[in-house]
């Protein structure tokens, strides 16, 4: 099973490492503690591939459906079209 470090996930999602840590602390992204360094308050964590995929699927927002063919365009107030 493939796993990722916090920095690998941050790089892949183009976010700061602290953002990934906040998702983990909030319970949005599951991580496994692999070891603790002596005299350190910060544990080492790994994110399993299946947990990352589940997280990404939960945050996916489908694009809006296109209007049906033949439906009138909604006029935007204050916008003038010149063509």
Cβ atoms of residues 32 and 43 within 8 Å: no
- Going from N- to C-terminal start, the domains of the chain cover 3-59
Q: In this predicted model, what pLDDT tens digit does every residue of 47-57 receive, in sequence order?
A: 999 999 999 99
The whole-angstrom distance between residue 55's C-alpha and the CA centroid of its chain comes to 7
* pLDDT score recorded for residue 34: 84
Say if residue 6's pLDDT is above 70. yes
Helix or strand run (H / E) with residue 46: strand 44-48
Better-scored residue on pLDDT, 1 or 74: 1
In three-state form (DSSP H/G/I as H, E/B as E, the rest C), the secondary structure along 15-41 is CCHHHHHHHHHCCCCCCEEEECCCCCC
Q: In this predicted model, what pLDDT tens digit does every residue of 11-49 receive, in sequence order?
A: 999 999 999 999 999 999 999 988 766 666 667 899 999
Q: What is the CATH number of domain 3-59?
A: 1.10.1660.10
Q: Count CB atoms within 10 A of the CB of residue 65.
A: 6
Asked whether the whole model's pTM tops 0.85, one would answer no
């Amino acid at each position: 099973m493939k796993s990722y470090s916090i920095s690998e996930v941050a790089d892949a999602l183009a976010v700061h490492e602290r953002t990934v840590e906040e998702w983990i602390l909030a319970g949005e992204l599951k991580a496994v503690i692999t070891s603790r360094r002596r005299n350190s308050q910060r544990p080492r964590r790994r994110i399993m591939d299946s947990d990352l995929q589940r997280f990404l699927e939960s945050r996916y927002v489908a694009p809006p459906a296109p209007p049906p063919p033949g439906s009138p365009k909604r006029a935007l107030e204050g916008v003038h079209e010149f063509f």
